Amino acid sequence: MSRPKPLSGFPEFLPSGRIAELAVLDIVRSTFELHGFAPIETRAVEPLDQLSRKGEIDKEIYVARRLHADAGDADELGLHFDLTVPFARYVLENAGHLAFPLRRYQIQKVWRGERPQEGRYREFTQADIDIVGQAALAAHHDVEIPLVAIDVFEKLHRDLGLPPVTLHVNNRKLSEGFYRGLGIEDTAAVLQRVDKLDKIGADAVRALLTDEVGLSAAQAAACVDLAGISAADESFVERVRALGVQHELLDTGLEELAALIRVARRSVPDRVVVDLKIARGLDYYTGTVYETFLQGSEKLGSVASGGRYDSLASDGKTTFPGVGYSFGITRILAPLIGKGKLTASRSVPSAVLVAVDNEEAREQAIAVASQLRGRGIPVEVAPKADKFGKQIRYAERRGIPYVWFGAGYDDSVKDIRTGEQQPASPADWAPPAQDLKPTVAGA
Question: Is 82 among the annotated ligand-binding positions?
Answer: yes
The CA-atom distances, in angstroms, between 421 and each of 403, 416, 427, 429 are: 9, 8, 17, 13
Question: Is 167 among the annotated ligand-binding positions?
Answer: no
Question: Is 126 among the annotated ligand-binding positions?
Answer: yes
Residue among 415, 389, 393, 394 nearest 404 (CA): 415
Question: Is 125 among the annotated ligand-binding positions?
Answer: no
How far apart CA 219 and CA 225 sit, in angstroms, is 10
Whether 290 contacts 145, CB under 8 Å = yes
DSSP 8-state symbol, 65: -
Question: Is 270 among the annotated ligand-binding positions?
Answer: no
Question: Is 394 among the annotated ligand-binding positions?
Answer: no
The CA-atom distances, in angstroms, between 347 and each of 91, 298, 393, 397, 434 are: 40, 30, 15, 9, 15
Query: Which contiguous run of DSSP H or E holds residue 153?
Result: helix 140-160
The CA-atom distances, in angstroms, between 51 and each of 63, 77, 129, 275 are: 10, 9, 19, 29
The CA-atom distances, in angstroms, between 34 and each of 31, 51, 128, 130, 152 are: 5, 31, 15, 14, 10
Question: Is 53 among the annotated ligand-binding positions?
Answer: no
| SS3 assignment, position 173 | helix
Q: Which residues does 13 contact at the CB level (< 8 Å), separation at least 6?
A: 20, 21, 337
How far apart CA 345 and CA 340 sit, in angstroms, is 12
**Which residues are documented as binding site for L-histidine?**
82-84, 112, 126, 130, 280, 284-285
**Which residues are documented as binding site?**
82-84, 112, 126, 130, 280, 284-285
